[in-house]
Amino acid sequence: MEALSAVIRECRKCPLWKEAHHAVPGEGSVTAGLMFIGEAPGRQEDLTGRPFVGRAGALLETLLAGIGLARSDVFIANIVKHRPPGNRDPREDEIAACTPYLDHQIRIVRPEIIVTLGRHSTRHLLSRIPVAFDRITDIRGNVYEATIADHPVRIIPTLHPAAALYNPAYRTGLEEDFAAIRAELAVAGG
Ligand code: SF4
């Protein structure tokens, strides 16, 4: 994983590196049963080179603690590894250029469960099944069987923690979905 992270830090396959301070390859346990995939680095992540720091990261850690896990127990990554300027949405060509790295990470970690955080990572991962959806609130907490990067996995979509910082209803939704994650981990024996 370290060798892959080094390649990502030097990557110039799409224009996103140009305005970024650091690549954010992802981090955590490389033997984790649970992998979280968000959209793209934000400002704090770009400055530190680490995924899910700042307030959204703190909320993610609180939610993990609620199901008996620490950040170091899971692997956390994004579908694109450099921050889009001004936190704009990543474009399709940028996602296509970058997601082979995500696939490589999935092949290394071989998680039982992938949790997609927010609509962009959910749309990308569920397109591999394929499952289409209009609003993430319609499908969050569902469990989808999939094969990603030749690896059988269950995908559970949920909301992005950043969205829940400003919307208490989303916080409740996240807590419900984390309860579903805990139940699925119990099925997996994790
Ligand atoms: S966003 Fe991904 S594909 Fe684009 S330069 Fe960064 S690592 Fe490479």
Q: Nearest 5 degrees, angle CA 62-CA 66-CA 71?
A: 55
Both tokens of 176, joined, read 């419900």
CATH of the domain at 62: 3.40.470.10
Percent with pLDDT over 70 in the chain: 98
pLDDT digits (tens, 9 = 90+) for 66-87: 999 999 999 999 999 999 999 9
pLDDT digits (tens, 9 = 90+) for 129-179: 999 999 999 999 999 999 999 999 999 999 999 999 989 899 999 999 999
* Pocket perturbation via mutation, ligand 1, pick of 81, 99, 105, 120 by most ligand atoms within 8 A of CB: 81
Q: Nearest 5 degrees, angle CA 135-CA 45-CA 89?
A: 35
For ligand 1, is residue 17 a contact (CB within 6 Å)?
A: yes
* Pocket perturbation via mutation, ligand 1, pick of 17, 24, 120 by most ligand atoms within 8 A of CB: 17
pTM value?
0.97
pLDDT digits (tens, 9 = 90+) for 40-69: 999 999 999 999 999 999 999 999 999 999
Its domain, for residue 142, covers 2-188
Check the CA dihedral 115-119-120-125 and report its sign.
Answer: positive
Three-class secondary structure of residue 119 per DSSP: helix
The total domain count for the chain is 1
Q: Distance (Å, rounded) from C-alpha 125 to C-alpha 115?
A: 10
